[in-house]
Amino acid sequence: MIVRRLTHALGYRYRLHSRKMPGQPDLVFPGRKKVIFVHGCFWHRHDETCPLTRWPKSRLDFWVPKLEQNKQRDLRNQQNLSELGWTFLVVWECQIKDREALAQRIIQFLEGL
């Protein structure tokens, strides 16, 4: 939501959740052939340096395969998108707090800088 509003405020227009596209990206920029994913750090397994990816304390036998599967699916979807000629940006939940940096990343990504 924050990413959407920010992107909109930067003057970019996009479509939401394209169900036809691999991974159903959150923001789609058809003219640019670019998409943005906004990923929750826990569900999508941001890297180990991220405090939000800490494993739950119980039922690890359930969580590990489930979350590992999410991660693999993301990678597959991203690869499919690339093969279709799209470029993507992943915005992680923990990166949203710093609006300034986030805005810079979005601009750089969309302008191809």
Task: Return the number of the residue (21 or 67) whose C-beta is nearest Zn ion.
Answer: 67
50 binds Zn ion (CB under 5 A): yes
96 binds Zn ion (CB under 5 A): no
When computed from its CA atoms, the radius of gyration of the chain, rounded to whole angstroms, is: 15
Task: Return the number of the residue (38 or 81) whose C-beta is nearest Zn ion.
Answer: 38
Helix, strand or coil, per DSSP, at residue 39:
strand
* Segment interacting with Zn ion, rule: CB under 5 A, options 9-17, 29-37, 48-56, 70-78: 48-56
Could you tell me which residues are beta bridge partners of residue 28? 15, 35
46 binds Zn ion (CB under 5 A): yes
42 binds Zn ion (CB under 5 A): no
- Spatial separation of the C-alpha atoms in residues 82 and 13, rounded to whole Å: 21
- Spatial separation of the C-alpha atoms in residues 67 and 22, rounded to whole Å: 18
94 binds Zn ion (CB under 5 A): yes
Task: Return the number of the residue (29 or 53) whose C-beta is nearest Zn ion.
Answer: 53
Helix, strand or coil, per DSSP, at residue 27:
strand
| Interacting residue with Zn ion among 18, 92, 103, 107 (CB under 5 A) | 92
Could you tell me which residues are beta bridge partners of residue 36? 27, 89
